Structure 1
Amino acid sequence: MSTPNAEAESLLSIEIGTIHTRALLFDLVDGQYRFLGASRVPSTFGAPYYDISEGIYQALKQLQDGTARVFLEDSRLVIPGRADGAGIDSLVLIYTAGPGLRIAVLGLLEDVSLESASRLAASTQSVLVEAIGLNDHRKHEEQIDALLKAKPDLILIAGGTEKGSTRSVGKIVDLVSMVLQLTPEDRLPEIMYAGNQAMQNHVTEALSRFGAVQVVPNVRPTIENEVLAPAQEMLARTVTRIRNQHLGGLQAYASITSAAPAPSSHTFGRMIRYFSQINNSQKSVLGVDLGASYTTLATAQQGKLELSVYNLGMGAGLQPALEKSELAEITRWLPMQIPDDEVRDYLWQKTLFPASIPATVETLAIEQAAARQILALALRTHRKRYKNPLQSFEPVLVSGATLAHTSPAQTLLMLLDGLQPVGTTTFVLDPYGLMPALGAAAEVNAMLPVQVVESNAFVNLGTVLSPLSNDRYGTSIMNARIEYESGEESRHEIRQGNLYQLPIQPGQTARIHLEPLRPVEIDPMHNSDTRSFKVIGGICGTVIDARGRSITLPADDSRRRDMLKKWAMALGS
Structure 2
Amino acid sequence: MTTSLVDAESVLAIEIGSIHTRALLFDVVDGQYRFIGAGRAPTTIHAPFFDISEGIHLAISHLQEITSRILLEESRLILPGKADGSGVDQVVLTYTAGQPLRVVVMGLLEDVSVESARRLAASAHTIITEAIGLNDRRPPEAQIDALLRARPDLIILSGGTDQGASRSIAKNVDLLTFALQIIPREKRPEVIYAGNHALVTPVKDVLSTYTQVHVAPNLRPEIDVENLSPAQDILADAEFHIRSRQIGGLQSYRSILAVEPLSAPFAFARMIRFLSRINNPGKGVIGVDLGAGNLIIASAFQGNSAVSVLPMGTGPGMAQALRTIPISEISRWLPIHIPESVVEDYLWHKTLHPTLLPVTTETAAVEQAAIRQVLWNGLNQHRTRYPNTPLLAEPILAAGMPLTQWSPQTSLMLLVDGLQPFGITTFVQDAHGLTAALGIISTNNAILPVQVIESNAFVNLGTVIVPLSNARYGTSILKVKVEYEAGNQISLEVRQGSVTALPIQTGQTARVHLQPLRPITIDPIGKDTTRSFKVIGGVCGVIVDARGRPLSLPTDAARRRDMLKKWAAGFGA
Q: Is the structural similarity TM-score above 0.5?
A: yes
1-side partners of 2:137 and 2:279: how far apart? 46
Q: Which residue of 2 aligns with 1:446?
A: 446
Q: Which residue of 2 aligns with 1:202?
A: 202
1-side partners of 2:397 and 2:208: how far apart? 42
Q: Could you give the per-residue CA deviations for residues 172-225 of structure 1, whole angstroms, max 9, x where no partner exists?
A: 211111111221112111011111110001101111101231111112111222
AA paired with 1:532? S
AA paired with 2:408? P
SS in 1 for 2:159: coil
Q: Which residue of 2 aligns with 1:569?
A: 569
2-side partners of 1:328 and 1:194: how far apart? 42
Q: Which residue of 1 aligns with 2:3?
A: none
Residue range with higher mean Cα deviation, 287-296 or 81-90: 81-90
AA paired with 1:215? V
Q: Once the two structures are aligned, what percentage of the paired residues are identical?
A: 56
Q: Which residue of 2 aligns with 1:116?
A: 116
1-side partners of 2:208 and 2:53: how far apart? 34
SS in 2 for 1:26: strand
Q: Which residue of 2 aligns with 1:523?
A: 523
AA paired with 1:335? P
SS in 2 for 1:255: helix
- In 2 relative to 1, CA 425–301 (structure 1 residues): closer, same or farther, beyond 3 Å? same
Superposed, which structure 2 residues align to 1:204-223 within 5 Å?
204-223=204-223
Q: Which residue of 2 aligns with 1:81?
A: 81
Superposed, which structure 2 residues align to 1:45-444 within 5 Å?
45-388=45-388, 390-444=390-444
The answer as to whether partners of 2:301 and 2:390 remain within 8 angstroms in 1 is no
Residue range with higher mean Cα deviation, 251-260 or 310-319: 251-260
Deviation at 1:228, TM superposition (A): 1.4
Q: Could you give the per-residue CA deviations for residues 129-162 of structure 1, whole angstroms, max 9, x where no partner exists?
A: 1111112222222111111110100011111111
Deviation at 1:281, TM superposition (A): 3.5
SS in 2 for 1:378: helix
1-side partners of 2:301 and 2:7: how far apart? 33
Deviation at 1:409, TM superposition (A): 0.7
2-side partners of 1:218 and 1:349: how far apart? 44
Q: Could you give the per-residue CA deviations for residues 424-469 of structure 1, whole angstroms, max 9, x where no partner exists?
A: 1111100000000111111232211111111110011111111111
Q: Which residue of 2 aligns with 1:3?
A: none
SS in 2 for 1:210: coil
Deviation at 1:8, TM superposition (A): 6.0
Deviation at 1:61, TM superposition (A): 0.9
SS in 2 for 1:382: helix
Q: Which residue of 2 aligns with 1:26?
A: 26
AA paired with 2:109? L
TM-score of the pair, normalised by structure 2: 0.97
2-side partners of 1:426 and 1:274: how far apart? 17
Residue range with higher mean Cα deviation, 483-492 or 43-52: 483-492
Deviation at 1:558, TM superposition (A): 1.4
The answer as to whether partners of 2:300 and 2:389 remain within 8 angstroms in 1 is no
AA paired with 1:523? D
The answer as to whether partners of 1:465 and 1:544 remain within 8 angstroms in 2 is yes
SS in 2 for 1:112: helix
SS in 1 for 2:165: coil
AA paired with 1:371? I
AA paired with 2:493? E
Q: Which residue of 2 aligns with 1:509?
A: 509
AA paired with 1:293? G
The answer as to whether partners of 2:154 and 2:189 remain within 8 angstroms in 1 is yes
In the alignment, is residue 488 of structure 1 matched against residue 504 of structure 2?
Answer: no
1-side partners of 2:413 and 2:70: how far apart? 41
SS in 2 for 1:194: strand
Q: Could you give the per-residue CA deviations for residues 231-259 of structure 1, whole angstroms, max 9, x where no partner exists?
A: 11111111111111221111111121111
The answer as to whether partners of 1:8 and 1:90 remain within 8 angstroms in 2 is no
2-side partners of 1:241 and 1:373: how far apart? 35
List gaps (5 residues or longer) in structure 2.
Answer: 1-5
Deviation at 1:390, TM superposition (A): 4.5
Deviation at 1:306, TM superposition (A): 0.8
2-side partners of 1:509 and 1:119: how far apart? 42
1-side partners of 2:84 and 2:528: how far apart? 61
1-side partners of 2:256 and 2:489: how far apart? 58
AA paired with 1:138? R
Q: Which residue of 1 aligns with 2:456?
A: 456
Deviation at 1:471, TM superposition (A): 1.7
The answer as to whether partners of 2:280 and 2:394 remain within 8 angstroms in 1 is no
1-side partners of 2:185 and 2:19: how far apart? 33
SS in 2 for 1:25: strand
AA paired with 1:571? F
Q: Which residue of 2 aligns with 1:554?
A: 554
The answer as to whether partners of 2:430 and 2:459 remain within 8 angstroms in 1 is yes
SS in 1 for 2:46: coil
AA paired with 2:243? R
Q: Which residue of 2 aligns with 1:474?
A: 474
Q: Could you give the per-residue CA deviations for residues 502-542 of structure 1, whole angstroms, max 9, x where no partner exists?
A: 01111222222112122211211432333222211111111
AA paired with 1:95? Y
1-side partners of 2:388 and 2:468: how far apart? 20
SS in 1 for 2:22: strand
Deviation at 1:268, TM superposition (A): 0.3
List gaps (5 residues or longer) in structure 1.
Answer: 1-5
Q: Could you give the per-residue CA deviations for residues 286-331 of structure 1, whole angstroms, max 9, x where no partner exists?
A: 0000011011000110111111100000110111111111111111
AA paired with 2:380? R
The answer as to whether partners of 1:283 and 1:525 remain within 8 angstroms in 2 is no
Deviation at 1:21, TM superposition (A): 0.7
Q: Could you give the per-residue CA deviations for residues 462-500 of structure 1, whole angstroms, max 9, x where no partner exists?
A: 111111112221011121111222222211111100000
2-side partners of 1:109 and 1:488: how far apart? 64
2-side partners of 1:35 and 1:267: how far apart? 17
Deviation at 1:7, TM superposition (A): 5.4
Deviation at 1:396, TM superposition (A): 0.3
Provide the alpha-carbon RMSD of the alignment: 1.3
1-side partners of 2:281 and 2:512: how far apart? 18
Q: Could you give the per-residue CA deviations for residues 86-136 of structure 1, whole angstroms, max 9, x where no partner exists?
A: 211100111111000001111111222111111110000000011111122
The answer as to whether partners of 2:299 and 2:389 remain within 8 angstroms in 1 is no
TM-score of the pair, normalised by structure 1: 0.97
Deviation at 1:389, TM superposition (A): 6.5
Deviation at 1:66, TM superposition (A): 0.5
1-side partners of 2:528 and 2:277: how far apart? 26
Q: Could you give the per-residue CA deviations for residues 240-284 of structure 1, whole angstroms, max 9, x where no partner exists?
A: 111112211111111211111111001000001101111224222
SS in 2 for 1:209: coil
2-side partners of 1:189 and 1:446: how far apart? 35
AA paired with 1:549? R
Q: Which residue of 2 aligns with 1:536?
A: 536
1-side partners of 2:260 and 2:104: how far apart? 25
